[in-house]
Amino acid sequence: MDLVRIGDKVVSKSKIYRAVDRLLELRASGLPQQQVASQMNIDRAFISKLETMGEVRRGGRIALIGFPVKNKEEIRAVALSEGLDMVLLMTDAERWQYVRGKSGEVLLNEVIDLISAAKDYDAVIFIGSDMRLRLAEAILGPKVAGIDIGTSPIKEDKYVDPDMVRDLIRQLKV
């Protein structure tokens, strides 16, 4: 059972979890704290304190895109631990498998979707060759923070310093 006795009350943990889930869904959908508080018949200050307890980071939305990354799982772990909103990392083999596994029309549509999604972020960390980095900057503008891992064409996976990625993420959060 998920019931807990607190003094003379019996409290259902699952009922609390459902209420908190609903509160977070409403806030994530864009409703202001006061409106959610009114809907749920709770104090706005409680919502603020609850959000503060669970806060991972402040600031804009940050995406990380990179290829060909040798230590992609290590870089992904850094990005996720820092609370990044989107992470897309590939090795050289994965990059070519992705490209070769699609028709031109499908590939073009997916690339356009990715570019469109990247434009919604406040900052995009791009890890790639000098040429790909210039292309990302031309498309996305000043929101791109680049990590140049070599001269194009790059034909093998490149090691990326996780501390450098972590430092860059933290600079962008400020």
Report the pLDDT averaged over residues 120-129. Answer: 96
Q: Residue 57: what pLDDT?
A: 56
**Residue pLDDT, tens place only, 43-96:** 999 999 998 888 755 678 999 999 999 999 999 999 999 999 899 999 999 999
Task: Report which DSSP code applies to 41.
Answer: T
To the nearest whole number, what is the mean pLDDT of the chain? 93
Strand partners, 7: none
86-89 β-sheet, strand order: 86-89, 62-66, 123-128, 144-148
Interstrand relation of 9-12 and 3-6 (parallel, antiparallel or unpaired): antiparallel
Q: How many CB atoms lie within 10 A of CB 118?
A: 19
% of the chain at pLDDT higher than 70: 97
Q: Residue 166: what pLDDT?
A: 97
Report the pLDDT averaged over residues 129-134. Answer: 96
Q: Residue 32: what pLDDT?
A: 94
| Domain architecture of the chain: domains with CATH | 3-54 (1.10.10), 62-173 (3.40.50)
The three-state secondary structure class of 9 is: strand
Identity of the amino acid at 118: A
Q: Which residue has 């003379």 as its token pair? A: 8
Identity of the amino acid at 82: E
Q: Residue 56: what pLDDT?
A: 58
**Residue pLDDT, tens place only, 20-38:** 999 999 999 999 999 999 9
